[in-house]
Structure 1
Amino acid sequence: MGELALCTSTELYNILNQSTKFSRLAEPNYLCLLDARSKREYNESHVITGRRVKQDESMQFLLPESIELASMKYCVVYDSRTNSLEGEGPALECAKVISQVCHKPVLVLRGGYEEFSAYYHFFRSQKVFWMPQEIDDFQPYPIEIIHGLLYMGDQSQANDHHIHKDLKIKSEVNVSLEPIQLSMPILHISVPDSCDSDLLQFFSTICDFIDCHMAPNSAVLVSSTLGISRSSAVIIAYLIHSRRWTLQEAWSHVRKCKTNMRPNRGFVQQLSEWEKTVLGHQITDISEPRF
């Protein structure tokens, strides 16, 4: 039997936008997103790929059919506005039923549909049935690192005007060999994704650029070709700079946001040097397997 845990809107947003070559939503055992609101509310609008949970005659929630809940990586339940695991409410009642067959914690969306849809209106949907090809064609958005302010993505996302509008991205840091032609402030750091590439020399310039351009309603996107190595190294460097986090703390946060992030070994060594520069001494042991 699984436990219950709260899930923030940002966490659900990032779960929806994980990808490798394709969106992870196409994986059958990746995400089960359940809407515990009324049928009328669900039909009016729900979170994309969410399915309504049915109830029996006594209004008890039923387990969804044709879903292997025990093998799901994520089970997320939401109602209109639940904010706590205490008390009562449709999301909690449904999550307790789901947890009886789940091996992992069942996540309850904090703030419910109202908060999530206010932040991410572009993920509202009225679509009930999704064909496999439609899920395969789903285009993920950049991963959110700092809510509403800092995002990490790949080359295609960096050039997508709809994404810029939806996320209010007003400037970009492009860490790749390919320049981006956009009518916004862009800092282009042209380095290959190689262990011999020197990103360390640019960390201070990048952090200053992000600090100058990041503001409410003015987000910054950090991108690289695949959004995995160079961009994650830059994001980690910025978190060490801005939050005064250790390399380990910044690494853990970015890993939580994007599960397949992976700076190459040369960048890891440079991040260790950056940690020493910013914090005064090296704290993180980069010989540990996680790095």
Structure 2
Amino acid sequence: MEGLVLLEPTELYNMLQQASVYSNLSDNNYLLLIDARNKDDYNESHIVTAKKAPKNKDGQFFVPFDSELECRQNVVVYDSNTCSVKETTEANDCGSLLWEMGSRNKVYILKGGYEEFSALYPFLRTQKIIFMPKELDEIKPYPAEIITGFLYLGDWRQGNASYVQKDLKIKAHINCCVEAETFFPANSGHLLHIQCDDSSDADLSSKFEVACKFLDSCQEKNKPVLVFSNLAISRSAAIVMAYLIYQRKITVEEAFNHVKKCSNYIQPVQAFMDQLKTWSAKVLGK
């Protein structure tokens, strides 16, 4: 259907986790998340911050009065299990209406709907209907998901938050901070400590191969890994980029674009980008 784009569950997960000082969800223009299921299903549980799609007395969808479609950066609609924008479903019908009524960008339809998303991310389900501005400011984002169910990118706080380890089932960590202190128990999983300053004269490239072998080992054992640094902007981002280059045999640009899509605030220092280019040349043989 025109104006509709299918959205993978991991993409919505990452969309919900974007944050700088505060969660992006506290910005009214950032996301309009619409639940097109029936009222009973919505009341039982829905994705955090989702609003119920209103219907008139004839059972037809209409645009929520506070939707402000022309201002929204992202508009996402879901029902129970829509898997294609070519189907005739509640999500597609509602999404088409929002597109026709003035959404500034194409409308996303959540692939697999609520059923698939809630199975993957049960900790993002809620019965809460109204979020006050202060509550949105206080939302604590989870790490970005770089490889579904396996590789995550986070900051120092997330690397040491027990709820993150529990909900994402983290079994191993790569700590890119200079400091070695961590709050999670030493016996909770494997830890690789990469001590490196976030500066233009720091050598991170010597750690790429070690990190990739560590991550390979974790993937073979089905152990999800969280890579973290102080702000999840530079060192940790470079490490996950190095692994994507190594695992998928892709270029630096492709790796950067993938990680940037998952975590919009990454910006490795230029020295690390140069080191990644050298690493890419070695991996790709050119």
Letter in 2 for 1:6: L
Aligned equivalent of 1:223 = 228
CA distance in structure 1 between the partners assigned to 2:269 and 2:55 by the alignment: 49
CA contact (8 A) 1:149 1:215 kept: no
Q: Is it true that 1:203 corresponds to 2:208 in the alignment?
A: yes
Q: Which one is further off, 65-74 or 143-152?
A: 65-74
C-alpha distance in 2 between matches for 1:96 and 1:151: 33
Cα distance between partner residues in 2 of 1:217 and 1:210: 10
Are 1:35 and 1:46, in contact at CA under 8 Å, matched by a contact in 2? yes
Partner Cα separation in structure 1 for residue 144 and residue 62 of structure 2: 33
After TM superposition, give the deviation of residue 249 of structure 1 in Å.
1.2
User: Which secondary structure state, in structure 2, belongs to the residue aligned with residue 69 of structure 1?
Assistant: coil
* Greater mean alpha carbon deviation, residues 54-63 or residues 105-114: 54-63
Q: Are the equivalent residues in 2 in contact too, given 1:149–1:216 (CA < 8 A)?
A: no
Q: Does the aligned pair in 1 maintain the 2:158–2:164 contact within 8 Å?
A: yes
Report how far residue 214 of structure 1 moved.
Answer: 2.4
Give the whole-Å Cα distance in 1 for the aligned partners of 2:181 and 2:8.
32
User: What residue is the counterpart of 2:67 in the other structure?
Assistant: 67
Q: 1:218: how far off?
A: 1.9
The equivalent of 2:174 in structure 1 is 173
How far is the alpha carbon of 1:280 from its aligned partner? 1.1
Find the aligned partners of 1:57 and 1:139 in 2 and give their Cα distance.
Answer: 38
Give per-residue Cα distances to partners, 1:57-109, cap 9 Å, x unaligned.
12111111123111111100000000001121110010011002112010000
Whether contact under 8 Å (1:168, 1:217) holds in the other structure is no
Mapped pair 1:122 → 2:123: yes
Q: Equivalents in 1 of 2:22, 2:222: separation in Å?
A: 29
Conservation of the 8 A alpha-carbon contact between 2:9 and 2:117: yes
SS at 1:25's partner residue?
A: helix
Encode CA deviations 1:238-267: one digit per residue, 9 max, x unaligned. 000011111111111111111111111110
Structure 1 position 217, deviation (Å): 5.0
- One-letter amino acid of the counterpart of residue 159, structure 1: N
Query: Given the two structures, how large is their TM-score scaled by the length of structure 1?
Result: 0.94
Cα 1:88–1:157 shift into 2, 3 Å: same
8 Å contact kept, 1:178–1:190: yes
> Which residue does the alignment assign to 2:4?
4
**More displaced 10-residue stretch of structure 1: 145-154 or 55-64:** 55-64
- Residue identity in the other structure for 1:15: M
Please provide the CA RMSD for this pair: 1.1
Question: 1:180: how far off?
Answer: 3.6
SS in 1 for 2:85: coil
Aligned residues: 280
Q: CA deviation at 1:153?
A: 0.3
Shift of 1:215: 4.6
Q: Which residue of 2 aligns with 1:133?
A: 134
* Whole-angstrom distance in 2 between the partners of 1:215 and 1:132: 43
